[in-house]
Structure 1
Amino acid sequence: MTQPDERESEFRITRDHLKRLMKSGDRHKYDYGHAVVVSGPPGQSGAARLAARGALRVGAGLVSVFCLDACKGENAARLDAIMVKAYPDDDGFADGLSTLRASAVCIGPNLGLDWESHGKLLDILSLGIPLCLDADAITLIAQDPEPIKAVMHPQVVMTPHEGELRRLIPDVFARTTCRVSLAVSAAQTMKCTVLFKGTDTIVAQPNGDHSVVSSQGFAHAAWLATAGSGDVLSGIITGLIAKGFDVSDAASLGANLHLRCAEKFGPGLIAEDLPEALPAVLRQCFETEDHVK
């Protein structure tokens, strides 16, 4: 298998990215989209709250955590600007989600690995809403891929780490160690954008196009190896999609901003710090706009 040159496709923030990140005084919150994060079962909804915080900080106009009634109290106790939307039971999931009019949805962080969770994933994909799939959602796909592939659509981005990607495409791992080839193969297999996490994060599309978001040059990137960091990244990507970014652009830009947050905060970083670092990161990006292409 040919080994692509990652240096030829290294991601850079452009002036157009910054223009679309900025908010305008003549627009209102509904112009910046509604990001919805699906919560896990009772006692396991912290990951959804982390993702929701990332979506809110990156500029989505509205953000909701969508959860079972049994989780409503624990989420409401921890959230203020983020709305809590509840459904009565698993049978009410699809109808409840469709009434939210989401611009983008994040599903997977601590979702669960039971058949009810698998059904929720199928329900969301069937709606055709732009979607970020992470964590448990990726594992569910690996366990039973064919029903998911049947409803997969181009406005989906998956965000696997190496273990999750290996479960999705074990045969490709047996043939190559090239991270770009692995990401592109996964994107072609799943018919969606794939963000392959790592020291060099690869964002690949089914047509073979890809970008590389390198951590080289970013101080303290190693501190991103902490519980919940990936949940925040998924939320940032979902917020960018809600704002109108294409899923591939949202994935590359989100990964870059994620690294910049680690650089800004420094040693001691935990997942809760990442959304709070975003305002300073965005401010710095806007202040240096004249130096980007």
Structure 2
Amino acid sequence: MNPINDPMTWQSLLPWPGAEAHKHARGRLGVVAGGALSTGAARLAARAGLRVGAGLVKVVCPPDAAPVLAPTLEAVMLASFTNADQLAALAQPMDAVIIGPAAGLTEATAAHVAALGRTGAALVIDADALTLFRDRPGHLFACLDRDDVLTPHEGEFERLFPGLLTKGREAAAVEAAERGGAVVVLKGSATVIAAPGGRCVINGNGSPWLATAGSGDVLAGMIGGLLAQHMDSFDAACAAVWMHADAAHRFGPGLIAEDLPSLIPAVLASLYRG
């Protein structure tokens, strides 16, 4: 039996700002948005990344999405790109980048993942950016390194790792992390977080209120926000999963994904030792 995800193992590693901190020192997070009719997921991830402490968050989008996003973003910055090379150039200064939420099941998204893999940013790969590699998982794994994080629910996991879940969720996540060469967050009522090398924990504070559209986008944003602050990827995933669930417990019935980012400050305050 693998250990439970206990805040005591990562609480002291959370990236609190010092007296001389400025926004660039607190980390830069990029979030790749989908087209004009698919911008909500990126906004949820971006707001969560800001709330969890990233100093600067920028949504990057196709040109048709920019007029939709511009009136809805305040502290979050915005830029547009038309091809994978432009996306890579925008991502180059970023410490972490999220791609997948409502990105689109297209070859362009696959090209964008490959381009991001050539930058120095730590990647959070979610949703569409997982599913579109269902028949060619090796192409995705070739883009990854140990700093990157995959965040599949069971359906997405089965598409990338067919049949592996028959071994059980914990063993499957551990093997998937080895195959992919990246941290794997296998989402569910008891989310499993595994890293290459065999580290694995089970999250014990899961909340049924997270069974709502968009909650996974918020989790991706939280992981990305911690990665942008240079927290170790496995520890960042463990912290984000626990805080995500704790936020849901604090709200309770009626929770929707839009509520979650505003709950993050109270969760952080409960963990702050300053």
Under a length normalisation based on structure 2, what TM-score does the superposition of the two structures give?
A: 0.94
Work out which of the residue numbers 204, 213, 217 in structure 1 matches 2:203: 213
Counterpart-to-counterpart distance in 2, 1:15 and 1:212: 13
Matched-pair contact (CA < 8 Å) for 1:94–1:123: yes
Counterpart-to-counterpart distance in 2, 1:155 and 1:56: 20
SS of 1:37's partner is strand
Q: Which residue of 1 aligns with 2:113?
A: 121
Q: Which residue of 2 aligns with 1:185?
A: 175
SS of 2:156's partner is helix
Give how far 1:93 is off: 2.5
Counterpart-to-counterpart distance in 2, 1:85 and 1:17: 34
Work out which of the residue numbers 32, 36, 47 in structure 2 matches 1:42: 36
Work out which of the residue numbers 135, 141, 150 in structure 1 matches 2:142: 150
Matched-pair contact (CA < 8 Å) for 1:202–1:213: yes
Tell me if 1:135 matches 2:135.
Answer: no
Counterpart-to-counterpart distance in 1, 2:69 and 2:86: 19
SS of 1:30's partner is coil
SS of 1:66's partner is strand
Q: How many residues align?
A: 274
Q: Please, which moves more after superposition, 101-110 or 85-94? A: 85-94
Work out which of the residue numbers 230, 243, 247 in structure 2 matches 1:257: 243
Q: Please, which moves more after superposition, 139-148 or 76-85? A: 139-148
User: 1:86-120 deviations in whole A, cap 9, x for unaligned?
Assistant: 1244553333333xx00000000001011111111
Give how far 1:211 is off: 1.4
Q: Which residue of 1 aligns with 2:103?
A: 111
SS of 1:183's partner is helix
CA RMSD of aligned residues (A): 1.7
Under a length normalisation based on structure 1, what TM-score does the superposition of the two structures give?
A: 0.89
Work out which of the residue numbers 188, 191, 213 in structure 2 matches 1:201: 191
Matched-pair contact (CA < 8 Å) for 2:10–2:239: no
The one-letter amino acid paired with 1:159 is T
Matched-pair contact (CA < 8 Å) for 1:69–1:89: no
User: 1:167-222 deviations in whole A, cap 9, x for unaligned?
Assistant: 1111323x42x211010111111111100111111110121111111126xxxx11
Counterpart-to-counterpart distance in 1, 2:120 and 2:184: 17
Tell me if 1:92 matches 2:86.
Answer: yes
Matched-pair contact (CA < 8 Å) for 2:91–2:121: no
Q: Please, which moves more after superposition, 70-79 or 44-53? A: 70-79
Tell me if 1:243 matches 2:237.
Answer: no
Give the gaps of 5 or more residues in structure 2. none
Mark the structure with the bigger radius of gyration: 1
Give the gaps of 5 or more residues in structure 1. none
